[in-house]
Structure 1
Amino acid sequence: MTTAPHRHLLRPLRQFVSARPAKRKAHKHETGITFARALSTSHNCQAKEYAFEMACSNIRYGPGVTKEVGMDVKNMGGKNVCVMTDGNLSKLPPVKTTLESLDKYGVNYKLYDKCRVEPSDQSLQDAIDFSKKHQFDLFVAVGGGSVMDTCKAANLFSSKPDAVLLDFVNAPIGKGLPVKHPVKPLIAIATTAGTGSETTGTAVFDFKDMRAKTGISNRSIRPTLGILDPLHLVTMPERVAAYSGVDVLCHAIESYTVMPYNERQGQEDPSYRPAYQGNNPISDIWSLHALEVTAKYIKRCVYNADDTEARSAMLLASCAAGIGAVYNSDDLEARANMCLASCVAGIGFGNAGVHLCHGMSYPISGLVKSYKSEDYTSEHPLVPHGLSVVITAPAVFEFTAPACPERHLRAAEALGYDTRNAKKEDAGKILQEVLLGIMDSIGVPDGLRSLGYSEADIPDLVKGTLPQHRVTKLSPRPAGPDELSELLTKSMKTY
């Protein structure tokens, strides 16, 4: 007999067994799925998807765990290793610790420290050329999402020298070819708590000709091992903590509210099945947990609020681990938990996908004029990725809520809102209200105008969003040019 407190644990299992999405407002592109269709040998590209696949990197977590990377490289047989990072990190403890470990284990390596914050097609090509020249047999990425994504691309293309950049870029921008050649092992050491790139098969970059971001998504390029060392987050600047934190927030909400996997169009060749598959019973668990952790720790992670009890507990833990009093200067408990939340959300969205917030973020980043954020050491104008994503989130989730109000309410509940008396028709407003409260509490700028945009830029922003099929086609509610224009207009001023 199942007692009431444990009934919620059976929900994902029941969903999986029934293979049917929750009741929600129907749209003309959505149809049900039958097992007869799934088993039919005449399955064609017009049928709905019938399967999903769970994939992620191996993950190792713990304070000081970076010191083990030399052992990992040696065990993987690395003899000619590329260490990739950016110019700022190359001078900081995460890279120093990595190189000391490689030296300890006698690993031969070359350091590439030219990774661009928010990589472009040109910066990716430079890293690819470097990798082709030296014919590495293993890669180590030390950094945030920009470094990890650059390293994934360098590994992918140096492993197939005759390929050109657009071969594996998502259609319709690129050819979207499946990756069928072997790539080298890749170890990703995260230094921020936001992208979850250490567990995903996604690499995103600015495509200069298009003036918008695009990406490569394929399970084959996900890291072999992701290393999460919370000590690297001690020196993470405030704004980096804020904008990487809201990236976690949007990853989790978007992956929980994307179209269900069995409502997405299928394909004749399963090797073309995308990494972003739609929500499913496994990704749901990761996405909701990431929201709960983020709600608890994001503000503390940004401002390192005084929490004597938490710091005392972490200090005792650090002493037990032989790490010392490094925790004294920061609320490492919050940053350590956001580090885990980032990875957890990465597992969720790395399999389910994201939708409109990320789709619109790509031209928001790509069309940046003069905006530069405090705490980012970029020489060029830059809208940090997490900021470009969250700036439209309040408008987006108000728009998508009618398609699956239960999921939007459940997301609000995971973020701490009491939904017991909430009405389905209010789901969008409720989630919007919760988001605005979090954004305001950590100092997110007030809308697109604060980033240098005006209504005159909306046509170009829409134009840059429309080709982002990898993510926009997963929206639970279809959004064409008119809908995107309205969402961007509403996002000009956020609060």
Structure 2
Amino acid sequence: MSYDRSVSAPEHELGPETVWHLQMPQIRFGRDAVEELGFQLADLGVDSDDDPHGLLVTDEGLVEVGHVDRVTDHIADAGYDVTVWDGAEREPSIENVDSCLEFVRENEGEDGYDFYVGFGGGSCIDVAKATRAIVANGGQVLDYVAEPTGEGEALTESGPPLVLMPTTAGTGAEISPVAIFSVEEKEIKEGISSNHIRADAAVLDPTFTTTLPPDITGKTAMDALGHAIEGYTTHPFDGLLRASDPQARPVYAGRTELTEMFSEKAIELLSGNVRTAVHNGDDLEARSAMLKGALFGAIAGLTAGASLAHAMAYPVGNRYHTYHGETIAVLTPASTLGYNAASDPERFVRVAEMLGADTGGLSTRDAADRARQEYVRLQQDLNVIPSGLTELADITEGDVDWLARQTVETQQRLLRCNPRPVTEDDAKAIFRDALHNWE
């Protein structure tokens, strides 16, 4: 068995991995699940008799539509005092997290709050995750970002209880062990990856998603579908190198039979309900299916590993300030469903069939290519997804070299998860392919 191109732990043995590991927050899911938020905090050990003071991290838009008041009312009814910080930005920068950290330290000192709640899309949730962990460990964001951008220090403490509540069916950030931020001066995105970033609990209430406009509904759904497909098509866990120490095992550790089951159900739920959710956003049954699909896709993709589409998306998003979900959407046909299909055609045939393609009478390789065709057809039906990188952000052939170089030089954490090796020339060809997914 060759390990030349295997994903491996930073410190590993020259032998295949034999153990897989799954770590999840407590999860509450369902209509009006917000009503159990107080119970969830108590279950995590936050005692209202101790007069605890918490912080809710969110954004101004959710304050304006009234969702934040609904959450804080339930927290107050349970006997807890909570302060709202609504400064989270779309695609947050490290400076945005620093602002939240400064707010915490100015108001509560170095010890911070007694509990934290992150409420919103992936941006709000990532700011909440990083803030809680960095307050608990001390220092600043860059202390815990990998070298050479940061100092590469390891988190050793998780901090007080953290509950995350998503308002989009997309990123899966509510259960992930990663927080992603832009480093604007370097035009890159970096992350903090640690199980100490992961929340203690996630409360998923689909009633918060019905106010999402059609375009955001479709774009976030494509991120969720990307997680599910990437998790389904990445390396198997026992094709990787075994960590010398369990602590060194990567958080993206390859697919297992368990993650495959979640991927399959996620692809079914998301592809089967996104058209309804986009075109009839008040359909709570479709909204619930979408939120469940996003959760399942995250369990699969954020355990097994996100790969090529996500690696390519970060340089695009950081330089052109595009939404993460729509960036994943325009890159997936050329990357995950195009370039990667050669890694395991039979597996991509199953993806095509889960997306609704009729593969009867086709060769295995031709049937694998139907996954891309069916995915593009889905995007066209939604009518809210750009047709490629050019429509997304006026990206042209002249931008390809820089994007490819940034992908290969800054995103090895994700490229190591990819089922097919990617050189800079490969990345250039994939970016060119993604300029136009349809005319």
State the TM-score, normalizing by the size of structure 2.
0.91
Task: Note the C-alpha offset of 1:301.
Answer: 0.7
Distance 1:340 1:146, change over 3 A: same
Per-residue CA deviation, residues 318-363 of structure 1 (Å, 9 max, x unaligned), is xxxxxxxxxxx81111111101111111111121111110000001
Question: What does residue 82 of structure 2 align with?
Answer: 109
125, 129, 139: which is aligned to 2:98?
A: 125
- Kept in 1, the 8 Å contact 2:309–2:331? The answer is yes
Give, as a single letter, the amino acid of the residue that structure 2 aligns with 1:154.
T
319, 340, 350: which is aligned to 1:410?
A: 350
CA separation in 2, counterparts of 1:92 and 1:354? 32
Q: Where do residues 378-397 of structure 1 align in structure 2 (5 Å cutoff)? A: 382-396=321-335, 397=337
Per-residue CA deviation, residues 63-122 of structure 1 (Å, 9 max, x unaligned), is 112122133334431612011100111122321111111221221221100011111111
Task: Note the C-alpha offset of 1:124.
Answer: 1.2
Task: Tell me the percent identity.
Answer: 28
Distance 1:359 1:411, change over 3 A: same
Matched, 1:445 2:382: no
- Kept in 2, the 8 Å contact 1:362–1:464? The answer is no
CA separation in 1, counterparts of 2:155 and 2:354? 36
Pair member with larger Rg: 1
Name the stretch that deviates more: 342-351 or 205-214.
205-214
CA separation in 2, counterparts of 1:177 and 1:204? 16
Per-residue CA deviation, residues 143-184 of structure 1 (Å, 9 max, x unaligned), is 01111111000011000113x323433466545544322322
The number of equivalent residue pairs is 423
Question: What does residue 337 of structure 1 align with?
Answer: 289
Compute the RMSD of aligned alpha carbons.
Answer: 2.1
Give, as a single letter, the amino acid of the residue that structure 2 aligns with 1:136.
Y
Task: Note the C-alpha offset of 1:220.
Answer: 2.3
- Kept in 2, the 8 Å contact 1:267–1:273? The answer is yes
Matched, 1:470 2:434: no
Give, as a single letter, the amino acid of the residue that structure 1 aligns with 2:88.
C
304, 309, 325: which is aligned to 1:352?
A: 304
Matched, 1:457 2:388: no
CA separation in 2, counterparts of 1:183 and 1:250? 31
What is the SS of the residue equivalent to 1:199? coil
Distance 1:388 1:483, change over 3 A: same
- Kept in 1, the 8 Å contact 2:352–2:368? The answer is no
State the TM-score, normalizing by the size of structure 1.
0.81
Q: Where do residues 50-61 of structure 1 align in structure 2 (5 Å cutoff)? A: 50-61=18-29
- Kept in 1, the 8 Å contact 2:6–2:241? The answer is no
What is the SS of the residue equivalent to 2:27? strand
What is the SS of the residue equivalent to 2:359? coil
Give, as a single letter, the amino acid of the residue that structure 1 aligns with 2:130.
A
- Kept in 2, the 8 Å contact 1:58–1:225? The answer is yes
- Kept in 2, the 8 Å contact 1:84–1:140? The answer is yes
What is the SS of the residue equivalent to 1:367? helix
Distance 1:45 1:303, change over 3 A: same
CA separation in 2, counterparts of 1:57 and 1:350? 13
CA separation in 2, counterparts of 1:85 and 1:114? 7
Unaligned runs of 5+ in 2: none
- Kept in 2, the 8 Å contact 1:183–1:221? The answer is no
- Kept in 2, the 8 Å contact 1:56–1:350? The answer is no
Question: What does residue 222 of structure 2 align with?
Answer: 246
- Kept in 1, the 8 Å contact 2:55–2:84? The answer is yes
Name the stretch that deviates more: 176-185 or 410-419.
176-185
